[in-house]
Structure 1
């Protein structure tokens, strides 16, 4: 029994056990504790689908899902001429506005 007590006292004096073991317990235990806190974010978040009629009451016009497709948006962008453009300088706060 005294051998176990001597071994415990020897390990208690070691810096790696005195400072390292509590640090490792904090890191490993903290990761398990944070797992529960981060899961709360997803468990209690609002997961209700958006109703277009309800949004219309608030003044938001939503398109139907079938109206907007990747192909229709590509056709819109394909018609834009990107080769002919002109760079326009924006007004600076310290400059006077040019007369119109």
Structure 2
């Protein structure tokens, strides 16, 4: 009987054991929940094989050729760098001012 009362009064058993169970149990619980999340992401990433083949072909060959054709025809000699509006500036007003300045220079 003495041992049972001593164990009941022990702060380690009263506070330490439940804390240890929460920490270890929480670790296992979080692992399960995060695994569900990653499994769901893996399932969503899968595409239909025919659609995936079409997407991969388009990405590899056509995109670079199209971009090259667009850039080839542009003249970069008369290019002007225009500063964008700051966060505290009104963007519409600033754009109007920049366009007015360009019109005056031309």
Q: TM-score, normalised by structure 1?
A: 0.49
Q: TM-score, normalised by structure 2?
A: 0.47
Q: Which has the higher contact order (CA 8 A, sep 6+)?
A: 2
Q: Whose helix proportion is higher, 1 or 2?
A: 2
